[in-house]
Amino acid sequence: MPRFLIIKRVINLCKKLLNKDTEQSVDFPIVISRDQHSVSRKYISDNALKVLYRLQKSGYDAYLVGGGVRDMLLGIEPKDFDIATNATPEQIKKLFRNCRLIGRRFRLAHIVFGRDIIEVATFRGHHDSASKQDKNCTKTSKQSDHGMLLRDNIYGSIDEDAERRDFTINALYYNVGDFKIYDFANGVEDIKQRKIRLIGDPETRYREDPVRMLRAVRFATKLDMQISAETEKPIKQLASLLDHIPAARMFEEFLKLFISGKAQANFEMLREYGLFKYLFPIVDQALSEEDNETLKSFIHLALSNTDARINNDQRVTPAFLLAALLWYPLSRQVSQLKQTTQLTPQDAFFSALHEVMSEQQRSIAIPKRFQSPMKDIWILQDKLSKREGKRAYKTLEHPKFRAGYDFLLIRGEIEGGDIALLAKWWTDFQSATPDVQQMMIKSLPVGRNSRRTIRKRRKPRTKAAKTD
């Protein structure tokens, strides 16, 4: 039996004898033997096993923890292989030449195997015990006025680490040494009951890290589970705490929520709990207005298309979905500028683009590598409507034509009318022969945008008569 279990049992026995039992948020660990669970090394990546074995051979405790264990118990192929250990980040770095230490808020070790990264975290401890032992604990732990953890590098034992984890289904530790699972929060039972439940007091845990509200939604949709009543109760009341989360971290959460194959389900649940507006405030405001059916239908179609592509192992880019979410707020802003100012259409577009993106960046820090494709998709909506002369061919050669065309297809399906006809024209144009393409362009109705300019021939200059 592991030494920590013997020590824990002795402590609990002493408490009972002294009649000083105190209520614990995490019960005594349930030990599940190999013949009672479905977790197997054959489902664990070779690189994760290398890290686990090296840590254990070096005299440290090391466990596969969290999502990897949970998914195997659910019969889902695991993708994340996080490891928890009693080795400090510096000790881990000494063992692995391919290790790099990251993070201020949480000090973590990343063991790099090419593109595969195994994340190793040291067991977390409690802040109150740290303050008693270390007078300078503010150097390793710090909280904001709202109770959010700003820095948290206090180390402890495995049972303390389990209490510090967010949800019961993630407080599961698998030991490759004895093939047993150590369940510190009755997580296996919650998996059976398909419940998302926080460890400890929900309000306190949300204040420590408001992103846990987003994680609760993501796990519920990903695992087809329900958020327990006590876990969901404070969410609407505390949703505003997300305002204090750095915009860069919110972008990472956006990717997990919307580029995972469950975008549509997450969108609905985020709106239900009042969380969506802290990701996309201008979109949420537009959705709250009376005439929002077109916007809502457009977003639903874009989300469902993204989910379908991901679930079919097709390539997706966050830029396309971000462009879809912000398209109607941008279009409305362009229209308002055209009506209230004397800006040219092009200037109105770029002015609206600056306003919308600046507002959005306060909530989610969209990297520049995605901002440029978003702008291309939006600009192409205008270019696709101008097809006369050689314009259609130039648009067809645009590097982001396919993304702009796919965007137009979604617009056509929702808006109908001229947009639907325009989308069909481009569908036919792409598959037509060169001769047919010429006929399609010539048969376009002559309008203000398709007016041809006739160049006047310049008269040849006449040489001036020479004078004697």
CB 234 within 8 A of CB 203: yes
Q: Which two tokens stand for residue 426?
A: 């481009």
Cα–Cα distance between 50 and 64 in angstroms, integer?
12
Which of 82, 152, 159, 190 is flagged as catalytic? 82
Point out which residues pair with 149 in neighbouring strands.
Answer: 143
CB 278 within 8 A of CB 243: yes
Three-class DSSP category at 111: strand
Cα–Cα distance between 9 and 15 in angstroms, integer?
10
Among this protein's residues, is 80 annotated catalytic?
yes
Name residue 418's amino acid: D
Three-class DSSP category at 128: helix
Written as one string, the DSSP assignment of 342-361 is ---HHHHHHHHHHHHHHHHH
Which of 80, 284, 382, 406 is flagged as catalytic? 80
Among this protein's residues, is 313 annotated catalytic?
no
Three-class DSSP category at 124: strand
Q: Which residues contact 443 (CB under 8 A, 6 or more apart)?
A: none
Q: Which two tokens stand for residue 222?
A: 């990903």
Q: Among residues 9, 5, 30, which one has the least CA distance to residue 189?
A: 30
Cα–Cα distance between 450 and 445 in angstroms, integer?
8
Cα–Cα distance between 38 and 74 in angstroms, integer?
9
CB 232 within 8 A of CB 195: no
Q: What angle do CA 177, 180, 186 make, to 5 degrees?
A: 145
Residue 387 exposure: Cα atoms within 13 Å on the Cβ side: 20
Among this protein's residues, is 134 annotated catalytic?
no
Cβ count near 15 (within 10 Å): 12
Residue matched to tokens 């049992």: 9
Q: Which two tokens stand for residue 422?
A: 């325009």
Q: Among residues 121, 98, 103, which one has the least CA distance to residue 50?
A: 98
Which of 71, 159, 161, 166 is flagged as catalytic? 166
Q: Could you list the active site residues?
A: 80, 82, 166
